[in-house]
Structure 1
């Protein structure tokens, strides 16, 4: 993993671009290259390169509306005497904080550290507080679970026509926005598993409904995956010591129905399924303490099913 600090990108990519933008605008406002050099804290030779357009820079910042507006404001203030160096510095620091909050600096950081993609990283803005760590850990867990599913032999045969999804909730979830899942669901194409995007919170209503119902009954259960209902798979689950729970497919409030079934059982089973109904494809939910826990159980059960 390449360890790159956002501050390095500010120094290497942001500052040269902003200095070039400011130099050009200050020259347009009638300031000499020597005056511009004094304001920007660079040499006159550097200003000459900036003004001639050979000083480099990053178009990601040049084209960013907030950066353009801030640079124009600073240039007007410095040229007109309404801003001094302290004021200009304050404006630029405020801009940097804004661009780190899902802006161009954040985008650059994800480019040079691909490991950050899909984590909803707010580290620069909020710091490593417990909530951010919990969100990051859940997203990473769901992503790992999805990759595990893609590596399981024969998994494509267990994907329903409507697709599979894998989800995991935060501790003490309130609603589906506290459940991370794969946007657009996971599909089987040509015998392979296709994962269309990195996980996001609030991406799936169906798997979230099952997870929230299970978590209400047992807070230790935070992950679930839906697969196609198959008798061989159910028998394989039973062979591993699991007692699958059947529930009705044709009802309006699936979450409340599942809560009632879990209460009747006295626990959240590792596997719960229905046989479908008119317009409803048969589905099986595999639960786990985490999303990866559920994925590993699916791998175990499919291995048993293929061996029998």
Structure 2
């Protein structure tokens, strides 16, 4: 693992770019290189390089509208005397804070530390509190589950036409925005599983509804994966002591209907399915405490002797 602090990226990539941008704009406003150097806290030789376009930097900041607007505002303020060093610093600190929240600094940080990708990281903005850790853990588990499915050859045979998704809820989930899933769903193409994007919260209403219904009955069941209803898979579940629950496909309020069926059973089943209806593809849900648990159960069912097709 390469441990990189966001502050390193601010010093190495952001500051040189902004100083170069400011130097050019202050020069355009009639400041001498000596005056510019005094305002930016650099040498006159450095200003000369900036103005000549030889100051380096990163185009992601040069092309960022918020950075451009802030630089223009600071350049106007310093050149007219309406802004002093304190004001300029306040503007830059506010900009850095904003760019760390899904902005170019955040993007650079994910490149420097690939471990952050797909985690919805906002550590710089919110700090390491329990909510952030819970969100990170859920996103990471959904990503692990999706990769588990992708590495299982037989999985392609039970991906429905509408696609498969992996959903997992936060411990205190209330609605679909508290359930992480894969945007665009997971598809089978030429016998391979394709995962189009990293998981996000609120990315799936379909599987989130099943997850929330399960959690309403049993808070320990926070995840579900949808697959095509397959007789061999259902038989494999029965062979290891799981009694799949059948429910109606044609219903108006899916969450309420599933919750009622679970309460009738007295618990949330590991496997629940329907056989489809007009315009509705037969679907099976595999539940688990976490997304990775549900994925592991699917792998077990696909690999078991009763699942041979």
TM-score interval w.r.t. the shorter chain?
Answer: over 0.9
Residue 149 of structure 2 corresponds to which residue in structure 1? 149
What CA distance in whole angstroms lies between the structure 2 residues aligned with 1:40 and 1:250? 67
What CA distance in whole angstroms lies between the structure 1 residues aligned with 2:122 and 2:294? 28
Aligned residues, how many?
Answer: 308
SS of residue paired to 1:4: coil
Once superposed, what is the RMSD of the aligned Cα atoms? 1.2
Residue 111 of structure 2 corresponds to which residue in structure 1? 111
- What TM-score do you get using the length of structure 1 for normalisation? 0.97
> 1:39 and 2:39 equivalent?
yes
Tell me the CA shift for residue 149 of structure 1.
0.3
What CA distance in whole angstroms lies between the structure 2 residues aligned with 1:80 and 1:239? 80
Tell me the CA shift for residue 84 of structure 1.
1.6
Residue 88 of structure 2 corresponds to which residue in structure 1? 88
Q: How does 1:261-280 map to 2 (within 5 A)?
A: 261-280=261-280
Tell me the CA shift for residue 292 of structure 1.
0.4
Tell me the CA shift for residue 256 of structure 1.
1.1
SS of residue paired to 2:273: strand
Q: How does 1:168-207 map to 2 (within 5 A)?
A: 168-207=168-207
Tell me the CA shift for residue 153 of structure 1.
2.5
What CA distance in whole angstroms lies between the structure 1 residues aligned with 2:107 and 2:118? 12
Residue 163 of structure 1 corresponds to which residue in structure 2? 163
Residue 17 of structure 2 corresponds to which residue in structure 1? 17
SS of residue paired to 1:154: helix
Structure 1 runs of 4+ off > 2 angstroms?
305-308
- What TM-score do you get using the length of structure 2 for normalisation? 0.97
SS of residue paired to 2:153: coil
What CA distance in whole angstroms lies between the structure 2 residues aligned with 1:83 and 1:260? 64
What CA distance in whole angstroms lies between the structure 2 residues aligned with 1:169 and 1:163? 20
Structure 1: 5+ residue runs without aligned partners? none
Residue 225 of structure 1 corresponds to which residue in structure 2? 225
Write the deviation string for residues 66-89 of structure 1: whole angstroms up to 9, x where unpaired: 111111121122222222212211
Structure 2: 5+ residue runs without aligned partners? none
Residue 74 of structure 1 corresponds to which residue in structure 2? 74
Tell me the CA shift for residue 172 of structure 1.
2.0
Write the deviation string for residues 131-187 of structure 1: whole angstroms up to 9, x where unpaired: 111111111110110000011131100111111111000012111111111111111
What CA distance in whole angstroms lies between the structure 1 residues aligned with 2:30 and 2:185? 57
Greater mean alpha carbon deviation, residues 70-79 or residues 278-287: 70-79
Tell me the CA shift for residue 249 of structure 1.
0.8
